[in-house]
Amino acid sequence: MAGPDLIKTLLYTVNNLLLQEKYKAALAVLKGFRNGAVYGAKIRAPHALVMTFLFRSGSLKDKLKAILKATYTHSRNLACFVFTYKGLQALQERVQGKTLQSHSFLAACVGGWLVFGDNNNINSQINMYLLSRILFALSRLAVEKGFIPQPKHDPFPLFATLVWGIVLWLFEYYPHTLQPSLQSSMNYLYHDSNVWHDISDFLVYNKPRTAAQK
């Protein structure tokens, strides 16, 4: 019975440690690392699975390797960023004895430079995703703070009009400026739909099976 008793004692000790207020900041950094790793994997794995099997050529082994690599990279980067961000926030608060808005900004700037500053496909997708969100958020904040007047009409239709007009213009005439995954998606939607040979690659397949297998 020594085994179960030892496990109970160990669990009691660990749980007691986790409830100690003096360790909360450090433990929050560790849990942030854990949450970043889990969330990154949960977000990237299904996306990589779909995009790889839709648009990537090669053997099943190569495709699985690509999925695992993308999932690992996203998971690792997000975990490292959360760890860095929360750690620097806690350090600034400890040094200055209070929490300031600048702490969040500076900690995230350092984390962004260290983790997401490497120009690769995963980081590019994440940074562009965030850019679209912060532009929306800053627009709303500008209205809340009174820097720009409250629109009399919903600006979303105009926003959608410009977004789709610009992205399709870029795709048709300057596709090299767009991210590769977006180019692949748009090629599938707008260019591949211009080509077919018979009913098989008109309704069943996107391209003739012989071409797709090469």
- Note whether 163 and 186 are same-domain residues: yes
Structural domains in the chain (count): 3
Q: What is the pLDDT of residue 156?
A: 93
With contact defined as beta carbons under 8 Å apart, do 112 and 84 qualify? no
> Does 39 lie in the same domain as 28?
yes
| 84 and 10 in a common domain | yes
Residues 69, 9, single domain; the answer is: yes
Asked if 138 and 194 sit in the same domain, the reply is no
Residues 190 and 201 in one domain: yes
Sequence-distant (6+) residues with CB within 8 A of 57 are: 214
Q: Enter the tokens of residue 197.
A: 């040979």
pLDDT for 211: 45
Q: Which residues contact 55 (CB under 8 A, 6 or more apart)?
A: 181, 184, 185, 188
What pLDDT score does 113 carry? 97
In angstroms, the CA 177 to CA 166 distance is 12
Residues 96 and 31 occupy one common structural domain: yes
Tens digits of residue pLDDT in 15-47: 888 889 888 999 999 999 999 999 999 999 999
The whole domain housing 173 covers 155-213
pLDDT of residue 94: 92
pLDDT digits (tens, 9 = 90+) for 135-161: 999 999 999 999 999 999 999 999 999
What stretches in the chain show pLDDT beneath 70?
1-2, 210-214
Could you tell me if 76 and 164 lie in one domain? Answer: no
pLDDT number for residue 130: 96
